[in-house]
Amino acid sequence: MNHFSHLCPARPLICESTGSHAKHGNLFSLCFSPRNIKVDVPNKFGFTALMVAAQKGYTRLVKILVSNGTDVNLKNGSGKDSLMLACYAGHLDVVKYLRKHGASWETRDLGGCTALHWAADGGHCNVIEWMIKDGCEVDAVDTGSGWTPLMRVSAVSGNQSVASVLIGAGADVNVKDKDGKTPLMVCVSAEHGLALHVELRSGCSTVRQFS
């Protein structure tokens, strides 16, 4: 299914072709005309064209859409914006471009997660490192479980590399969630041995906390 065809009803064949040529060529730009094309109309899943392009890493399409007035801060049904989707998918060029054109690190989805929570889930360390250098808050807490990005790594993926990047950037290894658990406690419960090792080596509170 083509996610962009609703943007250009007068040129369906051109829009259909963007599915396979999204990373190169200028076919998508032909969809735009002097007429008032609505670039922010969502599909049935609540995704705008920008969200799809950001998630897929189609940097040229992202630039075309932004230059034609798309709203970079629109959210889908779960509250995720294009920046979150790009961070999760690991498309650093798109992330940088969206930030340059008004996307915010402060935005949260319906669960209170920030783009850094989603980048941590995605496991793309180069994106996470750049986000933190760009001023993204490393210890942002979601509204559901009271988890920071490090908490999510400890509980969900156990990704040692991501945990190491977050800890190296100053993530609080002793912060507690809504249940009073630290990243180490959550990590042990989830049986993520590698991430646990990273946290222990980084001066995390000892296992005596929950013995």
In order of start, what are the domains of the chain with their CATH numbers?
A: 1-104 (1.25.40.20), 111-211 (1.25.40.20)
Give me the percent of the chain exceeding a pLDDT of 90: 60
Segment 127-148, tens digit of pLDDT: 999 999 999 999 999 999 999 9
Give me the percent of the chain exceeding a pLDDT of 70: 73
Query: Can you list the positions of beta strands (E) in 46-190?
Result: none
The more confidently predicted of residues 194 and 123 is: 123
The more confidently predicted of residues 104 and 185 is: 104
Determine the Cα–Cα distance for residues 98 and 82; give it in Å rounded to an integer: 8
CA neighbor of 131 nearest in space, from 154, 146, 108, 115: 115
Token pair listed for 128: 């996470």
Which pLDDT band, with edges at 50, 70 and 90, does 4 fall under? very low
Q: Which residue has the tokens 């100053």?
A: 170
- Compute CA distances 49 → 90, 92, 93, 177, 209, whole Å: 18, 18, 17, 36, 48
